[in-house]
Structure 1
């Protein structure tokens, strides 16, 4: 799995290991949290074809098979189309889209042999955009479309491809978003308030959904975007009279 060094990725790695899986985490940097003895880590840039290919080959050579792939690595950069530089656009697309493509491309031959499961961590922003996140929203929309395409192409071979679409999750990425706001504390309160459950999710809650999609219980689930958003996209979380315009 990619992006395994922190946040959602680390939580998924820990959950899979607890379920008895042999987990290999792939990330550009070493894990930042507490050591996870049950999780093996490899260093690679998901946007580099040679590094991804070598990492996948190393995993299969060492463990003999590949049953589940989780594409989690991502970056988020703020800005409208006008405010987003070409360099920033390229960075977001290389990590969030090219990375998913490369890992999936090199892993698919092995997933075909095990009739495995491919899980992409997308976002509600892939179909429900937020202001000032043009590049990020576009990249996550691409991940959703690519997931559906792979589900159709590789379903006949027994490979299941699904995506998970979280809303706000308590991660370092979200903290960076808060800190970039004029009033970080108010931004935190607002983020919780727009969810029907009046809170944001924990990485472990996303990991639980990933564990389901990787399991035999999800044997007939493919091509789906599983929304895990605390009711964010269900509708307005507050009456119109509370809206200030």
Structure 2
């Protein structure tokens, strides 16, 4: 399977929720899931972007819906997942891609508590709330939950103190969820990509430069960015029944 053309039928009959599907890796995942035969629900804080992503999925021939959600607000998360389950007739896989990146290049002495709290709320509390309420809907014996983390905080440090901490925490969350949910027949994975060319990453590089990171270092990172489509392909594969034998953390380039 390539990053551009997922195997036809890989997700045939599967009902997939993409949280954070309006842009970047999430948008690429919505497109890939639709092309692989899934019915897709797009959840995002950007309601208009979610609607556009769902319209794109329908243009690929896939049933698709969209719901606006702030992943830090539990009532919104519960309502959005309930609505997605109603629209799709159930949920087989939840792919949590939503996240923010703040504080790139900032010395720990200059990281204020509000910035820390904001990143932790979106990148760690958000996945917890999604997992909590997704578990009520995921198909026993065939459900899949994938939390998109990062190599930062798992294999290496990050240029952002709160971001690295949040992704390390997300990894621990997924490991713990796997222990609880695998006996119910629900697979849980963390997918940990490297640096990917997304609007989020581009803004982060601009912030790093503004916070004093050397321009040649920023240019080096920018030149080596991976493609969102390649991460989307891995997410589609993990959501598919052919990956039932896969366990634990998955790393991509």
Q: TM-score, normalised by structure 1?
A: 0.84
How far is 1:123 from its partner? Answer: 0.1
The answer for the alignment partner of 2:44 in structure 1 is: 27
Q: Indicate conservation of the 8 Å contact 2:19/2:42, yes or no.
A: yes
Cα 1:219–1:130 change in 2 (3 A) is same
How far is 1:128 from its partner? Answer: 3.2
Q: Secondary structure at the match of 2:225?
A: coil
Of residues 96-105 and 124-133 in structure 1, the stretch that sits farther from structure 2 once superposed is 124-133
Residue correspondence of structure 1 range 70-219 to structure 2 within 5 A: 70-78=95-103, 79-113=106-140, 115-130=142-157, 132-180=159-207, 181=209, 186-191=216-221, 199-219=224-244
Aligned equivalents of 2:158 and 2:74: distance in 1? 32
Q: Indicate conservation of the 8 Å contact 2:40/2:57, yes or no.
A: no
How far is 1:130 from its partner? Answer: 3.6
Q: Indicate conservation of the 8 Å contact 1:70/1:118, yes or no.
A: yes
Given candidates 56, 67, 86, the residue that maps to 1:36 is 56
Cα 1:114–1:42 change in 2 (3 A) is farther
Q: Indicate conservation of the 8 Å contact 1:112/1:157, yes or no.
A: no
The answer for the alignment partner of 1:3 in structure 2 is: 20
How far is 1:113 from its partner? Answer: 3.3
Aligned equivalents of 1:24 and 1:63: distance in 2? 7
Cα 1:6–1:131 change in 2 (3 A) is closer
Q: Secondary structure at the match of 2:176?
A: helix
Cα 1:31–1:187 change in 2 (3 A) is farther
Aligned equivalents of 2:158 and 2:165: distance in 1? 12
Q: Secondary structure at the match of 1:109?
A: coil
Cα 1:71–1:98 change in 2 (3 A) is same
Aligned equivalents of 2:158 and 2:23: distance in 1? 26
Of residues 126-135 and 200-209 in structure 1, the stretch that sits farther from structure 2 once superposed is 126-135
The answer for the alignment partner of 1:59 in structure 2 is: 84
Aligned equivalents of 1:187 and 1:72: distance in 2? 26
How far is 1:36 from its partner? Answer: 1.3
Cα 1:149–1:192 change in 2 (3 A) is same
Q: TM-score, normalised by structure 2?
A: 0.82
How far is 1:207 from its partner? Answer: 0.5
Q: Secondary structure at the match of 2:109?
A: coil
Q: Indicate conservation of the 8 Å contact 1:80/1:131, yes or no.
A: no
Cα 1:149–1:110 change in 2 (3 A) is same
